[in-house]
């Protein structure tokens, strides 16, 4: 498993990058032991809301197989509205790896970063489970209007997302092992 930690369009965050790199290595070990599944190759990127929207839209478009520039621009605008309030996001990639985006504006300290990192890594572990990535691809393709999914499939996807979120929130206590007093 390969772990890459970097920044996107945020100069001057060297100490935060080093801290995140250290925490990511520890968090991967902790989450791998506590959550069923296998950890994919990871790329963790620290960025601001605009960079988060840009990277999330590009990764989602790549996952859905969308090449149309207008559709990508629309997806980026929608992602920007969402990114202002989001702390982090995990996105599976077509090559089997995972992209984790962390919004530095939402993390004033190490404790908040640790909680978000653990939460997103739990989602990365969930990507290795049966039919999870296929479900995400189907919903993403539906969102880009490439291939419609039935109402039943949409409801199934919503239930699965809700269940995955409950699991991820339930595992946030693991952040205490990274930074004492970090769990929400």
Give the start-to-end residue ranges of the domains of the chain: 3-177
Q: What average pLDDT does this structure show over 164-182?
A: 92
Contacts of 24 (CB under 8 A, 6+ apart): 3, 5, 42, 44, 117
Measured CA distances, 51 to 2, 54, 57, 80 (Å): 23, 5, 10, 9
Least confident of 15-24, 70-79, 102-111: 70-79
Confidence of residue 183 (pLDDT cuts 50, 70, 90): low
How far apart (Å, rounded) are the C-alpha atoms in residues 94 and 63?
6
pLDDT digits (tens, 9 = 90+) for 46-82: 999 999 999 999 999 999 988 788 888 888 888 888 8
- The per-residue pLDDT for 73 is 86
Mean pLDDT of the chain: 93
Residue 135 in contact with residue 129, Cβ under 8 Å?
no
- Torsion angle, CA of 113/119/123/129, rounded to 10 degrees? 130
Q: What average pLDDT does this structure show over 135-161?
A: 94
Token representation of residue 57: 């839209």
């Amino acid at each position: 498993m390969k772990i890459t930690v970097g920044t996107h369009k945020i100069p001057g965050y060297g100490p935060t990058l080093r801290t995140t790199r250290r925490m990511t290595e520890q968090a991967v070990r902790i989450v791998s032991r506590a959550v069923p599944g296998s950890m994919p190759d990871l790329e963790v990127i620290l960025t601001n809301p605009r960079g988060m929207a840009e990277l999330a839209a590009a990764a989602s478009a790549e996952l859905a197989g969308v090449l149309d520039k207008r559709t990508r621009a629309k997806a980026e605008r929608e992602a920007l509205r969402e990114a202002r309030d989001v702390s982090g996001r995990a996105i599976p990639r077509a090559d089997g790896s995972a992209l984790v985006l962390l919004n530095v504006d939402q993390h004033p300290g190490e404790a908040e970063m640790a909680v978000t990192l653990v939460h997103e890594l739990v989602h990365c572990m969930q990507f290795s489970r049966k039919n999870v990535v296929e479900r995400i691809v189907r919903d993403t393709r539906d969102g880009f209007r490439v291939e419609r999914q039935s109402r039943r499939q949409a409801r199934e996807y919503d239930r699965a997302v809700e269940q995955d979120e409950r699991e991820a929130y339930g595992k946030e206590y693991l952040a205490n092992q990274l930074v004492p007093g970090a769990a929400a």
